[in-house]
Structure 1
Amino acid sequence: MLENEGSEITQGNGEKVLVVDDEPLQREIATQILEALGYMPEALSCGEEAVEYMQGHKVDLILLDMIMGTGMNGRETYARIIEKHPGQKALIVSGFSENEEVREALRLGVHAYLQKPYAISSLSKAVVSALQAS
């Protein structure tokens, strides 16, 4: 599963990553990749669940889908989370092109935007970069 794809793939050290995506297959793919990379992923299906989860948990990084079928989008979810957890590290992912909502999430402090479908190496690089950011 972890073939090189022409780029270096960096293994994690058990960091906890919260995956928030309304598509079950996307949650499963992200979770499997993150586990194979050495992270401890937890997956939720919507922004509201993520906000509630973060009331009682801490994570090293949140992987947020930008556009979810119902409820809050990724930017709204991140804005609510940073009210209680300022500086929370996050990545925004989307199958759509970067738009104003993505740019606003980046202004709020999301580390980077990653276009779906992403390669294992791209996800690895983005996660490592976000985790190392101060």
Structure 2
Amino acid sequence: MEKNILIVEDEMIIALMLDQMVTKQGHNVIDKVSTGEAAVESAQRHKPDLILMDIRLGGQLDGIQAMQKINEQNPTSVIFVTGNSDDSYKKRIKEIDHLAFLTKPVTFHELSRSLSAAS
């Protein structure tokens, strides 16, 4: 089933790579943003089916805080993506219902499996 996906990633090369992987799997990328604040605004505007959310972002809100704000308005499925598998992040994301926690570099197979589980 085709999903509308919001990509929240502050590293442009990784955002483009995720965009290509999502598109190859038959889903739509409805927006790509690089800060938690932009993620909240974009999620309110576009109402995505799923968010690929980097945890460490520029701006005032990290990815976990941004998802908390998004879910207050409109609960949305999320796959967290991070370059840092620090235990403190894992503890914080337990508070948020999420489909997966992927460590960069994300492979096509990992993302495909996570997106399939979201259907």
107, 115, 120: which one pairs with 2:95? 107
- Kindly state the Cα deviation for residue 20 of structure 1 after the two structures are TM-superposed: 0.1
- Kindly state the Cα deviation for residue 127 of structure 1 after the two structures are TM-superposed: 1.5
TM-score normalized with structure 2 length = 0.91
Bigger Cα displacement from structure 2, 93-102 vs 17-26:
93-102
1:25 has 2:13 as partner: yes
- Kindly state the Cα deviation for residue 51 of structure 1 after the two structures are TM-superposed: 0.4
The answer on whether the counterparts of 2:64 and 2:93 sit within 8 Å (CA) in structure 1 is: yes
Rounded to whole Å, the distance in 2 between the matches of 1:76 and 1:127 is 22
52, 62, 67: which one pairs with 2:51? 62
Q: Which residue of 1 aligns with 2:73?
A: 84
3-state SS, counterpart of residue 6 of structure 2: strand
Q: Structure 2: which 5+ runs fail to align? A: none
Q: Which residue of 2 aligns with 1:74?
A: 63
Identical pairs, percent: 29
Rounded to whole Å, the distance in 1 between the matches of 2:110 and 2:91 is 19
- Kindly state the Cα deviation for residue 103 of structure 1 after the two structures are TM-superposed: 2.8
Q: Which has the larger radius of gyration?
A: 1
Q: Structure 1: which 5+ runs fail to align? A: 1-12
Bigger Cα displacement from structure 2, 32-41 vs 67-76:
67-76
Structure 1: which 4+ aligned runs deviate by more than 3 Å? none
3-state SS, counterpart of residue 80 of structure 1: helix
Over the aligned positions, Cα root-mean-square deviation in angstroms equals 1.4
TM-score normalized with structure 1 length = 0.81
Rounded to whole Å, the distance in 1 between the matches of 2:80 and 2:86 is 10
3-state SS, counterpart of residue 17 of structure 1: strand
The answer on whether the counterparts of 1:48 and 1:77 sit within 8 Å (CA) in structure 2 is: yes
Which residue type is aligned with residue 112 of structure 1?
Answer: A
Rounded to whole Å, the distance in 2 between the matches of 1:27 and 1:74 is 14
The answer on whether the counterparts of 2:56 and 2:63 sit within 8 Å (CA) in structure 1 is: yes
